[in-house]
Chain A
Amino acid sequence: GAGVSQSPSNKVTEKGKDVELRCDPISGHTALYWYRQSLGQGLEFLIYFQGNSAPDKSGLPSDRFSAERTGGSVSTLTIQRTQQEDSAVYLCASSLSRGGVGQETQYFGPGTRLLVL
């Protein structure tokens, strides 16, 4: 498909378990973002990948959160020892590399709804 895809679409897990969320960006987009949206909140930036550069991890809320991007394409967000407050919608977005106004427009996937019991 032409858009950003994410899997799974829904995930229910028990407190303390690890989860992995996957994002497939739009082909040719070198920038990839992860956000989360908790109930009643705006989108909270988590991490940013740009090409082969070191990722910007400044938004990760704790060391239980990590993300990888393999081959400059697919990305996985891992949450270790999940807590109930991790319950949220996790959104991935991709964009063309930063080269000018308009290229920074992000295209979002449908999100993964994570529920930690």
Chain B
Amino acid sequence: DQQVKQNSPSLSVQEGRISILNCDYTNSMFDYFLWYKKYPAEGPTFLISISSIKDKNEDGRFTVFLNKSAKHLSLHIVPSQPGDSAVYFCAAKPDTGNQFYFGTGTSLTVIP
């Protein structure tokens, strides 16, 4: 039962343009959301997070948007750079319990 879904396994974007990565979830009890970035042969690294009391969080080129009514999360990268090419995972956590739920990832390729 995949409670966090990333329906696009891959995405290609030209350098300098916007990358938009999407994530949907089914559990209305999720109250904390994160994006991780993963390079080959490395563990995921934390990128940005948002709590359910907000609908937007921005950190430099990265902005996460949360639409609670739609149970939808997105990560915007502007402008995209070749070094952003990686697999991006979204993750969510309910307000109780210890388990983080991860999506299957979206592989982003930024074309120079």
Complex interface residues of chain B between 85 and 112 (CB less than 8 A to chain A)? 89, 91, 93, 97-105
B59 close to A (CB within 8 Å) = no
Q: Is the CB of B32 within 8 A of A59?
A: no
Contact A104/B93 with A40-B104, A45-B99 known, Cβ cut-off 8 Å: yes
Check A65 for interface membership: any CB of B closer than 8 A: no
Q: Are A50 and B45 in contact (CB under 8 A)?
A: no
Q: Does chain B have a CB within 8 A of A110?
A: yes
B60 CB-CB contact with A under 8 Å? no
Task: Say yes or no: A42 contacts B103, CB within 8 Å.
Answer: yes
User: Contact: A43 with B89, CB < 8 Å?
Assistant: yes
The residue from A41, A108, A111 contacting B45, defined by CB atoms under 8 A apart: A108
A42 and B93 form a contact (CB under 8 A): no
**Contact check: which of B41, B44, B93, B98 meets A91 at CB < 8 Å?**
B44
Please, which residues of chain A bring their CB within 8 A of the CB of B103? 42
Q: A91-B44, A105-B34, A105-B49 are in contact. Are A56 and B89 (CB under 8 A)?
A: no
Q: Known contacts A93-B43, A108-B36, A110-B41; can you find 15 more A-B pairs with CB under 8 A?
A: A42-B2, A45-B101, A45-B102, A48-B99, A50-B98, A56-B98, A56-B99, A91-B44, A101-B49, A101-B51, A104-B93, A106-B46, A107-B46, A108-B44, A109-B43
